[in-house]
Amino acid sequence: MKDKLIECPHCNFIHEDSLDYIETGDMEGQFPMDCGKCGEVFQVEFTTTITFKTKA
Ligand SMILES: [Zn+2]
């Protein structure tokens, strides 16, 4: 579950609102981000997995 959140590689601060940083429609990509705690810049890579569920 930890990889569902953005963790700062500098101070290990967890950004709980990680999903807010991803533009809807992007399946994967990367973007630079400023840590909300220590202020250091780091690269975030993300991928999206689609799952289907059907019901009769
Ligand atoms: Zn940090």
**Protein residues with C-beta less than 5 angstroms from the ion ligand 1:** 8, 10-11, 13, 35, 37-38
For residue 14, how far is its CA from the centre of ligand 1 (angstroms)?
8
Phi, psi of 32 (to 5 degrees): -80, 150
Percent of the chain with pLDDT over 70: 95
Kindly report the three-state secondary structure assignment for every residue of the chain. CHHHCEECCCCCCEECCHHHHCCCCCCEEEEEEECCCCCCEEEEEEECCCCCCCCC
pTM exceeds 0.85 for this model: no
* Residue pLDDT, tens place only, 34-48: 999 999 999 999 888
For residue 19, how far is its CA from the centre of ligand 1 (angstroms)?
18
CB neighbours of residue 6 within 10 Å:
22
For residue 11, how far is its CA from the centre of ligand 1 (angstroms)?
4
